[in-house]
Amino acid sequence: MPHVEVEDGVEVFVRDMGEGDPIVFLHGWPLNHRMFEYQYEPLLEAGFRCIGIDHRGFGDSDKPYDDYGYDRFADDVKAVLDELDVDDATLVGFSMGGGIATRYMAKHDGAHVGKLALLSAASPCLTKKPDFPEGVPHDEVDPLVEGARSDRPAMTAEFGEMLFHTEQSEEMMDWVWSLGMEASGRATAAAAETFRDADLRPDMEAIDAPTLVCHGIHDEITPIEVTGEVLADGIENAEIVRFENSGHGLTADETERLNEELADFAG
């Protein structure tokens, strides 16, 4: 079942591997499910079922022109989990995928999900609001939107340079860039507007599932004090794990430790 047709006829790509307790992965912007390559193998070997979803507009999913808000992304996840008929899954959301996971848990009452893991999440509120002055200034996020519209290859490369705290190989950086270039330009710009403008603080009150918040202390994209610590304080049953040697891309900065945390949490 490589694709699931969702409510508006869009086909969403799904990669379903292994057997055992299910872990559902929601990727970050502007990448796709393959960003979790180095999580899948060890978790599969540990006996988990791993389900990766490409959000509409990204990876191998359909790329409609419009509708890249968190409500639509969350509805797509619901359609996939309904179709797969999974139960008691661990939902893992990275960066923008963390925002999608937050909205999903609130809008769909945590359907099919027993535990929630938020990794470097762009949630609940990334940018400054009148009652959230600690947020990131809008003008730090606007270049991502503008770059997606004017020179997406350059913007994607520059964004990749911001991801990691530890040194990555040139080949790794090229691979990350190639994942971003599989997205549509329209989805890249529109989804950046979504995570720039969203305020999911009310959604946190609706989440009662055990929640693991993993965040790098050197994160320059979603700073831990703006997002990770707010999530840990705002979700009733949440625990935060600080990754001392990670930036935003803790999937590669501290791969082994992240995999251990996920396996322990999901088990």
pLDDT at 157: 97
pLDDT digits (tens, 9 = 90+) for 98-156: 999 999 999 999 999 999 999 999 999 999 999 999 999 999 999 999 999 999 999 99
3-class secondary structure, 103: helix
Contacts of 147 (CB under 8 A, 6+ apart): 154, 155, 158
Pairwise CA distance, residues 75 & 86, whole Å: 16
List 61, 95, 123, 184, catalytic entry: 95
Q: What is the mean pLDDT of the chain?
A: 97
Q: Return the ∠ at Cα 199 (arms to 237 and 36), rounded to 5°.
A: 65
Above 90 in pLDDT, residue 7? no
Q: Where are the domains of the chain?
A: 3-266
pLDDT digits (tens, 9 = 90+) for 211-248: 999 999 999 999 999 999 999 999 999 999 999 999 99
Identify the CA nearest to 31 among candidates 56, 59, 10, 50. 59
55 is catalytic: no
Above 70 in pLDDT, residue 162? yes
The residue ranking higher by pLDDT, 2 or 200, is: 200
3 is catalytic: no
Q: Both tokens of residue 256? A: 């082994």
pLDDT at 59: 98
pLDDT at 8: 87
pLDDT at 1: 55
95 is catalytic: yes
φ and ψ at residue 133, rounded to 5 degrees: -70, -15
**What whole-number percentage of the chain has pLDDT above 70?**
100
List 55, 215, 218, 248, catalytic entry: 248
Mean pLDDT of 61-79: 97
pLDDT digits (tens, 9 = 90+) for 181-219: 999 999 999 999 999 999 999 999 999 999 999 999 999
pLDDT digits (tens, 9 = 90+) for 73-99: 999 999 999 999 999 999 999 999 999
CATH topology of domain 3-266: Rossmann fold (3.40.50)
In the block, tokens 């999911």 appear at: 200
Pairwise CA distance, residues 232 & 193, whole Å: 24
List 76, 203, 219, 253, catalytic entry: 219
What does the DSSP assignment read for 220-260? SSS-TTTTHHHHHHHSTTEEEEEETT--S-HHHHTHHHHHH
pLDDT at 145: 95
pLDDT at 123: 97
